[in-house]
Amino acid sequence: MERLCPGSQASRSVGYQYTKAGYFNRLTSADYDFAGFKSSQGDVTGLKGGGYVHVSTFVPDAERRADGSGTAIYAEFYREGFPDGYIWQVVRVNESTIGDQHQVATTTLSNGNVVFVWTDENAAVDGSGSCIMARVFSGTGIPLTGQILVNTTTEGYQSAPVVEALSNGGFAVAFLSRDEGRNHNVRLATFGAMGARTSDDFVATGNPDGNQTNPALTALKDGRIVVSWTDGDLSIRAQIFDAGLPAGGDDGNGTGGNGNGGNGNGGGEPDPIPHTLIGDGGDNLLDGTKVHGLIDGLGGRDTVTYASSLGHVAIWLTHVDFSQGDAFGDTYQNVEIFIGSSHDDEMFGDGQAHEFQGGAGHDRLVGAGGTDTLLGGKGNDTLFGGEGADHLDGGDGINVASYAEASGRVVASLQDSGINAGEASGDSYVSIQSLVGSAYGDSLVGDGSDNTLTGGDGHDLLVGGNGNDHLIGGDGNDTLDGGAGTDILDGGAGINVYVNAEQGEIVGSAGTDIIQAMVSFVLDEGSAVDGAKADENAGAISLTGNSSANTLLGNDSANMLAGLGGADELSGAGGSDKLLGDLGNDKLSGGTGKDSLTGGTGRDVFVFDDRETGSSKSRADTITDFKGRSGDKIDLKGVDADAKKRGDQKFSFIGDEKTFSKAGEVRFEKTKGYTYVYLNTDNDMAAEAVIKLKGSMDLSKSWFML
């Protein structure tokens, strides 16, 4: 796998990401407009419970900007327990997009959150030439704060920040400050776990004169901070400082006081002291916000709630070290129901049956194995049932049922869940507007509302039903049926077919986009569609291309296919079809039936296979304008030259010989007005296939693709 690495060209990086379109959506660097960018500088930090974060400054090319202006900061979160090199989450760190953001550094705090610091060239922020920013994220890539201005000094230019986690749960930032005399000194500032300032920045080098560079930080176990730097005489110097953080430090809102740093809700305190909460054997409602230890419901149907939490929670039943917020440190026994906070929560089940209630916020609920009930509540939620017959109720908002991590093909229908198959088998839906498929060939069906269906990899069938739907095929050869309504159809890569798309919009994609037509159809100039296919029930209709390279596909009736300009591919399928390539170097295949093939100008290829050649003159396909000397070809590679032998044999050309001597020979015969090509695929003297060319001519071996 190619990665986005510091100092290298940012090539295509592949992984999985949380998005509102689905849990673990497959993504590439193109989803973040990374393609063509260079990653000029970066940093890495390990995550609590496994995994790591890689953060980089992305440098755009001359035509684009990473965040709408200059350079930008992006972080990739990789988690232990998932395939090597797969991305758990990708986020843009900086909120400000004016000017350049660069010189990024990162570290992991004692509560498992991650802090990033960087230089921001937006002079409007603090009135200086540049400033230092910080921002705190959860260990799963969720932003917990906005941008935090690190420097209090506003003279000159601030640059080159470094950051270190402190033993009290907060962090320290050192950076260079350049005065009007163009000398640098090292300044130091400290913060609580959620970014509330615990000291203004001050000169950390003792002597502000001269020029100090290359700041570095180390936190000691006793809470003191070591600052080192390169002095003007190129010597290495250091100072040791007390942390100077007030008791309690930071409540996550910059007001000081009552936070608990270890549980992810702020705090200048270390990790909280674990407790034990035990039920009474009945149906218990247990408040998990202050436990940070074992919660055991004993008998009955028990509920653990985090509804009073001041920040988001992440609950992991299989990887407890990944838990965040007030769920940090909690382990569970005999608990069936979990209630989240009013923020953006994450809940991950195991092989047992559980009920997850997201509450308010944009939640991600993952049932995994077992027969789970996932209730999103308010907000735009993503529900991932996994194996087992699950009940998915999104609640308010625009909600997603995702099968992105399914181990095989799924059939999922919002209209009739009784037809569900694969990991969607037995699932039922309430208030679900969007479906996300697997990496296999899925069938996703919408209902009467406005649905978003995302196929992902594989050859998918997406059926929107009524409503104004958005269908996204992804990789693979997909079929997108918008149904009634004004739909947006995006097939993605591959050869894609669009059904009932007349009233909607087809988004041009990296693949070949084909509209399925019920009536005769003409492609408009400049259309995002690459071609058309006659519906099997449309009867004998005509399909006409435009000046671009088109793909036109007939049905089993007698169709008229006209490519017009461009290098077109025309395939008649069944019926006695008329194919006209017209301008351009075209490829024509009549299919079964007695077909008429006209290449027009250009170097055209007439394609035949075992099913597409009549066995007599009266049943032969006719090429009306074959011009071998102008570059036309007859392609016989799809015909097995010797049906008696295993494999696919090639033909040998014997010119105008009167008879065959063995299987696998091609000869021609001139008559008045026509030339016939005969193919022998067995050991008798009779031809098994005949092709008719208009005009009497001598044929050359080089005009055939044998």
Q: Indicate the DSSP class of residue 508.
A: P
Measured on CA atoms in the order 378, 380, 386, 389, is the torsion positive or negative? positive
Query: Is it the case that residue 487 has pLDDT exceeding 90?
Result: no
Q: Please give the average per-residue pLDDT across 187-196, as a whole number.
A: 88
What integer best gives the mean pLDDT of the chain? Answer: 83
- Cα angle 63, 66, 72 (rounded to 5 degrees) comes to 140
Q: How many C-beta neighbours within 10 Å does residue 182 have? A: 9
Query: Is it the case that residue 373 has pLDDT exceeding 90?
Result: yes
Give the residue among 617, 616, 533, 601 at the shortest CA–CA distance from 572. Answer: 533
Query: How many Cα atoms sit within 13 Å of 210 on the Cβ side?
Result: 14
Between 401 and 643, name the one with better pLDDT.
Answer: 401
Q: Which of 317-331, 596-610, 629-643 has the weakest average pLDDT?
A: 317-331
pLDDT for res 108:
95
Query: Is it the case that residue 442 has pLDDT exceeding 70?
Result: yes
Q: Where in the chain are the domains?
A: 1-92, 98-269
Between 24 and 109, name the one with better pLDDT.
Answer: 109
Question: What band does 647 get if pLDDT is binned at 50, 70 and 90?
Answer: confident
Q: Each residue of 679-695: b (16+ CB within 10 Å) or e? A: bbbeeeeebbbbbbbee
Query: For residues 443 and 646, what is the distance between their CA atoms, to the nearest angstrom?
Result: 37
By residue count, the chain amounts to: 706
Dihedrals phi, psi of 321, to nearest 5 degrees: -70, -15
Dihedrals phi, psi of 325, to nearest 5 degrees: 65, -145
Query: Is it the case that residue 705 has pLDDT exceeding 60?
Result: yes
Q: Which residue has the tokens 């036109």?
A: 552
Query: Is it the case that residue 500 has pLDDT exceeding 90?
Result: no
Was domain 98-269 assigned CATH 2.120.10.10? yes
Query: For residues 626 and 605, what is the distance between their CA atoms, to the nearest angstrom?
Result: 9
Q: How many C-beta neighbours within 10 Å does residue 220 have? A: 12
* Segment 652-699, tens digit of pLDDT: 999 999 999 999 999 999 999 999 999 999 888 888 899 999 999 999
Q: What contacts 24+ positions apart, CB below 8 Å, involve 676-679?
A: 676/617, 676/620, 677/634, 679/613, 679/636, 679/639, 679/641, 679/651
Q: Please give the average per-residue pLDDT across 385-410, as a whole number.
A: 94
Q: Please give the average per-residue pLDDT across 172-183, as a whole number.
A: 79
pLDDT for res 493:
83
Q: Are 178 and 184 in contact (CB under 8 A)?
A: yes
Query: For residues 500 and 495, what is the distance between their CA atoms, to the nearest angstrom?
Result: 17
* Segment 237-283, tens digit of pLDDT: 888 887 553 333 333 333 333 333 333 333 333 455 567 889 887 89
pLDDT for res 619:
87
Q: How many C-beta neighbours within 10 Å does residue 62 have? A: 5
pLDDT for res 65:
44
Query: Is it the case that residue 552 has pLDDT exceeding 90?
Result: yes
Query: How many Cα atoms sit within 13 Å of 194 on the Cβ side?
Result: 27
* Segment 132-146, tens digit of pLDDT: 999 999 888 888 888
* Segment 350-369, tens digit of pLDDT: 989 999 999 999 999 999 88
Query: Is it the case that residue 577 has pLDDT exceeding 80?
Result: yes
Measured on CA atoms in the order 624, 625, 629, 630, is the torsion positive or negative? negative
pLDDT for res 497:
86
Q: Please give the average per-residue pLDDT across 555-561, as a whole number.
A: 95
pLDDT for res 210:
67
Question: What band does 17 get if pLDDT is binned at 50, 70 and 90?
Answer: very low
Query: Is it the case that residue 599 has pLDDT exceeding 50?
Result: yes
Query: Is it the case that residue 18 has pLDDT exceeding 70?
Result: no
